[in-house]
Amino acid sequence: MSDVKNYEELLGYAEKIVVEACEVALNPGIDLKVSTKSNRNDLVTAVDKKVEEIIARKLADVTDYPLLGEENHSIDSFDGRVWVLDPIDGTMNYVETHRDYAISLALCEDGVPVLGVVADVVGGKIYTAIRGAGARCNGKELPKVDPERPYSEAVVITDLKEINALPRLIEVLKDSRGHRRYGSAALELVEVASSRAGAFVHLWVSPWDIAAAMLICQETGALVTRLDGTPLDVRHKGSILAGWPTVHSGIHDRLIVQAM
């Protein structure tokens, strides 16, 4: 096993492993064997499990860090360095629309993401970031998001359940450029990081959904918090509000502050 310590070196290995896993997702060579988890729309396939096992095995060849994976890998704690993996984020899309799904891999140190890779598998885009060193897409640096543009001049990414649960969100959307939904939290966050959407609002995300993409957002100047504005601890499931600075503050004020 290589003694890999440097973030750049670790990111190089992680990106290479994710790119190889993309080929497996595109051409799995096995039956999907679709099954459900928590509900009829919470899907898992044999490919999710195959991709996770392949990535886990290849990571183990490089480091001895524990892995938290959505399907089959658990950890005792987030102490030290821990890999966090979603082998296919957007499994419903993988099964039904065959696009808008991602492979997401992050390395956390004591629960803080320090490097991340998000692959838009069908789109052929690989987003990467190292904490404090900026974010890239296919090797090209992502520019900083606009710090002053308000949500009235931005697209907001959210879902029907958030709209139903947050009545004030309807007014936000009416005043915005409109809303979108892609079905993969990782891809929705990199839309914010890439300045294609001003914000992402979601009531419930898991560590593997956001660990890598959260870092990519932060490295482009976007703010990422819980919906109530408190710090987002990636170790725990919960809500997320990610957005360009003025978009984030405007939505937070409309949803939370004015509701008090």
Question: Residue 163 in contact with residue 170, Cβ under 8 Å?
Answer: yes
CB 206 within 8 A of CB 237: yes
Alpha-carbon distance of 23 to 17, in angstroms, equals 10
Alpha helices by DSSP H, listed for the chain, are 7-26, 46-60, 91-96, 160-165, 167-175, 185-193, 207-219, 245-255
- 234 within 8 A of 111, measured Cβ to Cβ: yes
Task: Tell whether residue 89 is among the known ligand binding residues.
Answer: yes
* H or E element at residue 136: strand 135-137
SS3 content of the chain, % helix, strand, coil (to 5): 35, 25, 40
Residue 86 in marked binding region: yes
Long-range contacts from 161-166, C-beta under 8 angstroms, 24+ separation? 161/203, 162/201, 162/202, 162/203, 165/203, 166/201, 166/255
Q: Is 256 marked as a binding-site residue? A: no
Both tokens of residue 143?
């520019």
Annotated binding-site residue numbers = 70, 86, 88-89, 209
Q: Binding site for Mg(2+): residue ranges?
A: 70, 86, 88-89, 209
